Chain A
Amino acid sequence: MADVFRKMGSMAINGIWQLGFIARFFWLILVYSGQSFTRIHLTLRELYFSGVMSLLIILVSGLFVGLVLGLQGYETLQRYGASDSLGTLVALSLVRELGPVVAGLLFASRAGSAVTAEIGLMKVTEQLKAMDMMAVSPIARVVAPRFWGGVISMPLLAALFSAMGVFGGWLIGVVVIGVDDGAFWAQMQDAVDFRYDVLNGVIKSGVFGVAVALIAVFEGYDCVPTAEGVSRAITRTVVSSALAILALDFVMTSFMFRG
């Protein structure tokens, strides 16, 4: 029994230590971010690897989520004779929740894990130490651009996911099932507010971007420099990012969407 408590205690203490490390690391990244913007090609390269490379999976998933929302939503709505509200249902679910959250989860597993792996392997092969020895800060040169690449990519990817989803919902609802095109868009526009729904969704995806990018670079930088250490770090990136996204989503939703 005492053992269980001891274990819980040590887990709690470790967790707090870890948070402290991440916070310190975050601070360091901000301090060393100058180069990420003065030498913009460093960040552009990371935008390519985390943004462009995630494009396909985001677009395809967005489309399919939209198609399913269209089908299921129509199923339910037509029972109440409210199939005109299909656009509203699809758009609100995507813009407020599914867009940021699902795009965030996909982003964490596609781009976050790749960033962790890349930084981790650079650590294993002593590239980070070599850089440091050449008087080039690895945080400024390697970590910060990857962080900003992720932070910038995430809201764009979430927006693309939502837009693609709305398109999917429209495809099923209007083109396949035959919901009135005018009603679909008009009801949607009436119910979806730019500031309240769209902007809050974008803010969410921005926060997820910071969280996922920070976790990914931290886990890579902090990994045990062995093959096994890197593989564990990648797993941790995906798991912690998913948990962070869901927890942050809950907190933000409860602040943003009340009444």
Chain B
Amino acid sequence: MSEPLVRLENVRFAYGERAILRGISLSIPRGKVVAIMGGSGCGKTTLLRLIGGQERAVGGRVTVDGQDVAGLGRDALYALRRRMGMLFQFGALFTDMSVFDNVAFPLREHTDLPAELINDLVMMKLHAVGLRGAAKLMPGELSGGMARRVALARTIALDPMLLMYDEPFTGLDPISLGVIGQLIRRLNDALGASSVIVTHDIQESLQIVDYIYFISEGRVVAEGTPDEIRNSADPFVSQFVHAQADGPVPFHYPAGDYATALVGGAG
């Protein structure tokens, strides 16, 4: 049980020429909720894709439940993915199905449960995210936050061992935000699962997670338990916790000199 569920060892990744991750090592212990934070575009979504096996690392190793993800064949990878749930950043609901059918989708695809049982399970999941009344709506009729919650219900439909949430809190009002945060925590504990949350919402995550990693420029720059983070003197961490514009995290995507660009543009 001491072996963490997910372990990244010196993982490097690039889209074409552009290096995104430059040697990341982190681990997600069983039963824990881990948050990954970092500036926009620093490669958090990419990191989740690597864990899910949708992208292959250029270097280093990604192991999930003792299996090297990059080395798995299609069938083994699919078998592993059945035990993972990923909440996509933009929900990725199936637009041609109702809310109910969206949540029922993984159940119908992977189990032979009778219709009544599927109905009960779906209603339970929808109830958990507070949208039981929206079961008949189509995704186009939902607000962004509602869509996110439906996607959350779909992610947890199969009670997976590893839950990955890509920005579950964006677009939620403060009330649902708190509820969803608590839900993630309770689900994790009830299922005995492990969770990764990619988020920008540091205040919320400080309340629910067990461990936090900060990523910048393709590396882990700070890590610690919520208590350690709150009291950290690390300039990077304090920039995040106190939401300062200036600090080690660059606001700008790498670019040439601004003044040159303006003058050059005019000339």
Do residues A133 and B86 form an inter-chain contact, with CB atoms below 8 A?
Answer: yes
For A82, list chain B residues within 8 Å (CB): none
Given contacts A125-B90, A127-B95, contact A135 B52 (CB under 8 A): no
Q: Smallest distance from the beta carbon of B10 to chain A beta carbons, Å?
A: 24
Task: Report how far A131 CA is from B54 CA in the complex, Å.
Answer: 11
Cβ contact within 8 Å between B110 and A129 = no
Say yes or no: A122-B54 contact (C-beta < 8 A), given A130-B88, A134-B109: no
Tell which of B77-85, B127-135, B220-228, B247-255 binds the partner.
Answer: B77-85
**A132 close to chain B: CB less than 8 A:** yes
B214 on the A face (CB < 8 A): no
Residues of A within 8 A of B86 (CB): 130, 133
Q: With the chains together, A138 CA to B84 CA distance in Å?
A: 17
Give the distance in Å from the alpha carbon of A121 to the alpha carbon of B110 in the complex.
Answer: 25
Taken together as a complex, chains A and B put the C-alpha atoms of A130 and B82 apart, in Å, by 12
- A-side contacts of B54, CB under 8 Å: 129, 132-133
B162, chain A: closest CB distance, angstroms: 12
- Interface size class on chain A is 10 to 19
A136 near B: Cβ within 8 Å?
A: yes
Interface size on B, residues (CB 8 A): 20
The answer to whether A129 and B88 touch across the interface, beta carbons within 8 angstroms, is yes
**Contact string against B for A residues 107-141, beta-carbon threshold 8 Å, 1 for contact and 0 otherwise:** 00000000000100110011101111111110001
> Is the Cβ of A126 less than 8 Å from the Cβ of B92?
yes
Kindly list chain B residues whose C-beta atoms are within 8 Å of the C-beta of A135.
78-79, 81-82, 109-110
Interface of chain B residues 202 through 220 with chain A (CB within 8 A)? none
Shortest Cβ distance from A130 into B: residue = B92
* B69 within 8 Å of A (CB atoms): no
Residues in A with CB closer than 8 Å to B52 are 133
Bound complex: CA of A53 vs CA of B84, how far in Å? 38
- Cβ contacts under 8 Å, B94 to chain A: 122, 127, 130-131
Fill in one digit per residue for B83-104: 1 if any A CB lies within 8 Å of its CB, else 0.
0101011101111100000000
- The reply to whether the CB of B178 lies closer than 8 angstroms to some CB of chain A is no
Known: A121-B95, A122-B95, A127-B95. A134 touches B88 (CB 8 A): no
Q: How far is the CB of B170 from chain A (nearest CB, A)?
A: 15
Q: Which residue of A lies closest to B78 (CB)?
A: A135
Contacts of A134 in B (CB 8 A): 81-82, 105-106, 109
Bound together, the chains give a CA A135 to CA B84 distance in angstroms of 9
In Å, the complex CA distance between A134 and B94 comes to 12
Which residues of A have CB within 8 Å of B110? 135-136
Q: Give the distance in Å from the alpha carbon of A162 to the alpha carbon of B208 in the complex.
A: 67
Q: Bound complex: CA of A134 vs CA of B77, how far in Å? A: 11
Known interface pairs A134-B106, A134-B109, A135-B110. Does A129 touch B82 (Cβ–Cβ under 8 Å)?
no
Q: Map CB proximity to B onto A78-122 as digits: 1 under 8 Å, 0 otherwise.
A: 000000000000000000000000000000000000000010011
CA distance A35 to B92 in the complex (A): 23
Question: What residues make up the interface of B, taking CB atoms closer than 8 Å to A?
Answer: 52, 54, 78-79, 81-82, 84, 86, 88-90, 92-96, 105-106, 109-110
Give 8 closest A-B pairs by Cβ, nearest first.
Answer: A130-B92, A135-B81, A135-B78, A126-B92, A135-B82, A133-B86, A136-B109, A134-B106
Q: List 8 interface pairs A-B (beta carbons < 8 Å), by A numbering.
A: A126-B88, A126-B92, A129-B54, A130-B92, A133-B52, A135-B78, A135-B110, A136-B105
